[in-house]
Structure 1
Amino acid sequence: MYDLDVDELALDGPREVAKIAQLVPPLPDGGAVLALQATVLRGGRGLSVGMALHHAACDGACSTRFLHTWAAASSGAVAPAPPVIDRTLVKDPSGLCDAFIRAMASTEKKNDVKMAGDKLLTTFTLSMENIQRIKDVVRLAAAGKGGAPPRCSSLVATFGFIWSCHQRAKHDDAASNGGGGDSTYFIFPVDHRSRMEPDPIPDEYLGNCVGAALNAAPKDRLATAGAVGLFTACTAVAAAIEQAVRVGSIRSPELWWERVREAILSGDGVLAVAGSPRFRVYGVDFGFGQLAKVDIVSVARTGAMAVAESRRSSGGIEVGISLPSDAMRRFQCCFHDAIAWLQCTTPLNK
């Protein structure tokens, strides 16, 4: 029995990571790749299902498919198609695996990131209206520059908005401490199953089939409130996607790893992404109805932003951010100020 109830855990506001982390099992020693834990909440008024996964086994698309399959078996619903367990489907003519092994061997080994005791986890939601307004800002900013706008999908708009807020929240603190370099990086995974050459891989493939999309942006422009920061961030994110999915992009493993390594070792900060709205985590139903809340607790260690579809009927995208209390207050202020600016100054594109 756990001494919190579902209403306390399902809040969007700041929650102590130390309390939530108790609901996630550790991976046992000895090579285990999956651990599951069910916890009855206070008063028997809810159940928490925690999962820990080693990404050597599979990527996020696979782990979420596992949850959908497990839930279907529990509820009697129609299960997703069975997994395809055939590692020979992933061809590696360019030596991607060897390139990563060599690169990892030449990189100084660092200890795991430690979870600060005062870390908080907060969920921020961008509504469909917010997302459309971001797209309008980017379109109008591009028109003002006399150029074509970047391809600003809902995901690009969300990533760009959060990245800009994140950089603005730490901008003053970084400046007071001497700052860092001139640029900072954004990195996120791209599913390559449908893009593998010459033969695409089934969506049901069980394993890892993701690549990295990443780009840098000037810190000062990224941290600028209003259209400048949004346009800078969304343009950089859109360019990262375009480069990642370009035909033949996966055939340059050395260059691909070097870019990731450059970002990590730059010392200028990297904001990464965990999860995806396409995983439909709120469609996982164990027979009790829609889940009250889904958190990716590991972002408290990695510093990534957790992304999922909004659990609200009106749609949108949820983003989970974990920061120490002071930094969280700065981020909340930047987020809410940016939302207020969007709603007051930007007409919806009809």
Structure 2
Amino acid sequence: CWPSREPRVPPRAVALATPVRFEVADHEAPMAPAPAPLQHVTVLDRCEVSPSPPAAPGQPRALPLTYFDLVFWDFPPVQRVLFYGSAERDLLDVPGFLRRELPLFKASLAAALHHFYPLAGRLPCELPAEPEVACSDGDSVRLTVAVGGDDFGDLAGDHPRDTARLRPLLPPLPSRGRGSWGVFAVQVTVFPRAGICVGTTLHHAVADGSSYVHFLRTWAAIHRRLIGADKKVVDVVPPLFDRGVVRDDSGLREVFVRELAEAGDERLDDWDLSRRPGSGGVVLATFRFTEELLGRLGKRVESETSARRCSPYAVACGAAWAGIVHARGGNGSNCNARHQFGFVTGCKPRASPPVPGNYFGNCLGLCCVEEAEDGHGVGLTPSAASAAIWHAIEELAEQGRALRDARGWVRLVRECAAARAVTVAGSPKLGIYAAADMGAPWGRPRKVEIVSVERTGALALAENHDGRGGIEVGVALPRGEMEAFRAFYGDLVAGLR
């Protein structure tokens, strides 16, 4: 939902595009050309799923957006796809899925929305003086049911895939009339004899990754109980909607509303890879940083910089940041070239007083790191990038540091977009693979992708899906830049052997 225009969500396209993952072993192989004709997604139904039972009468009917929420008002919706494979092929017959699985899918979604009913609410398209998520009786979430004709295994891979193949797996935010839009939408796409894909679209001003995973964990637990995969009573940790727990002694909410209104139609399009002319198509790939690889990279950071230690998060982000700078053409020939990296930090424990962990909404602080090329033909190295990020993280330990520059956050977002700063979406700490365990026959997702990084230029971070530690990093780049990034990653890994 963006002021004065429909949400910038990909239209109901029919062509599928796939993000690709790279394995270390094939880093020297040329990247495959874009697949020839793309297959189609056939929409079978669009229905509305309401919270069941409805929200209790005493629950608030409007959730004011806090200054934390307003920082993300102009961001594209966060769009994820979760791929579930099943060994029980008979369950993947489309009529059988519609008859047996879909009713349980709808029932568990409705039950989860009972606890997270604001996800069925709506936001205004224009930014009012008092922005809020409005909730009322009869609210619902749009659910799209579809059949996919693309290669499920390829779509759920790590190798570079054309993002145009993934977009049809994602639902748009629906219009709710009278100048408002829904804030959350779901799509389930069945791939016969292969698996299912659950796509979600969420307005970023409504919730951050922590709140999204809280909802997903609740939904999955209810689904496991409904299908009999979990005999335990579902112990739902209720979300906290009380906006009074977010202190705003400096009046940041009013400042941010004014700044967003003054910005008018200035968007964050400088980040949007899909709008960049001559990009040659955008592909999405996943690069896996195992614990062993992170350990070796961390030791290199300590030996090549002044950092005494470096967290796995900083190591993975630094390596990916340096790789993107290299892919864009940064080669160390310009000692005046400066590159920016933006990341978020959880502010619930850092606020004063601390915000409860089950608070629903956004509660993230913005951090920005700037690093220069060395001018000696080396460019931004992974070690220098990782050390710079780690230094910024260490500074956050200072009391009040995370919120010290909060007044400039709205302006910082636009400056980072204009500078094409590399940013981060998701976090390995969220534990999304475990949270999304729907029970047999689907179990945990075999792959989760944040497809919307195509439009924010962000790195998509998650824990490695195999549960053995490490971090997976999703990267979206124009095809030519992805070739360069892939080679950079391969050389980095080879140099540590």
- Greater Cα shift, 157-166 or 91-100: 91-100
Q: Which among 266, 289, 298 is matched to residue 110 of structure 1?
A: 266
Bigger mean CA offset, 293-302 vs 279-288:
279-288
CA distance in 2 between counterparts of 1:222 and 1:7 reads 44
Please state how far the C-alpha of 1:96 moved relative to its aligned partner: 2.2
Quote the residue 1:239 is aligned against: 391
| Residues 284 and 476 in structure 2, CA contact (< 8 A), matched pair in contact too | yes
- Contact 1:17 / 1:297 at 8 angstroms: preserved in 2? yes
* Contact 1:171 1:223 (C-alpha < 8 Å) held by counterparts: no
Matches within 5 A, 1:120-199: 120-142=283-305, 147=306, 149-171=307-329, 182-197=337-352, 199=353
User: Partner of 1:195: helix, strand, or coil?
Assistant: coil
Give the direction of change, closer, same or farther, for the CA distance of 1:221–1:165 in structure 2 (3 Å limit): farther
3-state secondary structure, aligned to 2:213: helix
Larger Rg: 2
Contact 2:268 2:417 in 1 (8 A): no
User: Which residue in 2 is equivalent to 1:94?
Assistant: 250
Secondary structure of 2:392 counterpart? helix
* Cα shift at 1:280: 0.9
User: How far apart, in 1, do the equivalents of 2:486 and 2:300 lie?
Assistant: 21
Q: TM-score, normalised by structure 1?
A: 0.86
Measured on the aligned residues, the alpha-carbon RMSD in Å equals 2.5
* Post-superposition CA distance 1:50-96 (Å, at most 9, x none): 00000111111101111111111101244551111111110111222
Q: 1:257 to 1:328 in 2, by over 3 A?
A: same
Equivalent residues of 1:99, 1:253 under 8 A apart: no
From 271, 277, 280, give the equivalent of 2:431.
280
Paired residue for 1:19? 165
Which consecutive residues of structure 1, in runs of 5 or more, have no partner in the other structure? 344-350
Aligned-pair CA distance for 1:106: 3.9
| Counterpart position of 1:248 | 400
From 239, 245, 251, the equivalent of 1:83 is 239
How many residue pairs were aligned? 329
Once the two structures are overlaid, the 10-residue window that deviates more, 244-253 or 156-165, is 244-253
Using a 3 Å threshold, how does the CA distance of structure 1 residues 112 and 161 change in structure 2: closer, same or farther?
A: closer
- Structure 1 Cα separation of the partners of residues 184 and 261 of structure 2: 26
Deviation, 1:219, is 3.4
Once the two structures are superposed, residues 7-57 of structure 1 have per-residue CA deviations (whole angstroms, 9 ceiling, x without a partner) of 12211001111111110101112221100111111x242111000000111
Shift in alpha-carbon separation, 1:106–1:243, aligned structure 2, 3 A: farther
- Residue identity opposite 1:27 in structure 2: L
- Report which of the two has the higher share of helix: 1
Change (3 A) 1:7 1:252: closer
SS of the equivalent of 1:235 reads helix
- Structure 2 spans left out of the alignment, 5+ residues: 1-146
Query: Partners in 2 of 1:338 and 1:218 — Cα distance?
Result: 20
TM-aligned CA deviation for residue 189 of structure 1: 1.2
Give 1:174 deviation, angstroms.
11
- The 1:126/1:18 distance shift into structure 2, 3 A limit, reads same
- Matching residue's letter, 1:254: R
Q: For residues 129 and 111 of structure 1, what CA distance do their matches in structure 2 show?
A: 41
Alpha-carbon contact 2:332-2:373 (below 8 Å) kept: no
Indicate the percent of aligned positions where both proteins have the same amino acid: 35
Counterpart of 1:54 in structure 2 is: 203
Q: Which amino acid in the other structure matches residue 12 of structure 1?
A: D
Q: Residues of 2 paired with 1:311 and 1:304: CA distance?
A: 20
TM-score, normalised by the number of residues in structure 2: 0.62
Give the counterpart letter for 2:210 in structure 1: A
Decide whether the 8 Å contact of 1:189 with 1:273 is kept in 2: yes
Aligned partners of 1:211, 1:222: CA distance in 2, in Å? 35
With 280-289 and 228-237 compared, the bigger mean Cα shift is at: 228-237
Aligned partners of 2:377, 2:168: CA distance in 1, in Å? Answer: 35
User: Which residue matches 2:13?
Assistant: none
Structure 2 Cα separation of the partners of residues 221 and 131 of structure 1: 27
Distance 1:278 1:300 in 2: 22
Counterpart residue number, 1:290? 444
Instruction: Please report how far the alpha carbon of residue 222 of structure 1 lies from its aligned counterpart in structure 2 after TM superposition.
Output: 11
Give the CA deviation at 1:230.
2.3
Letter of the aligned partner of 1:85 in structure 2? F
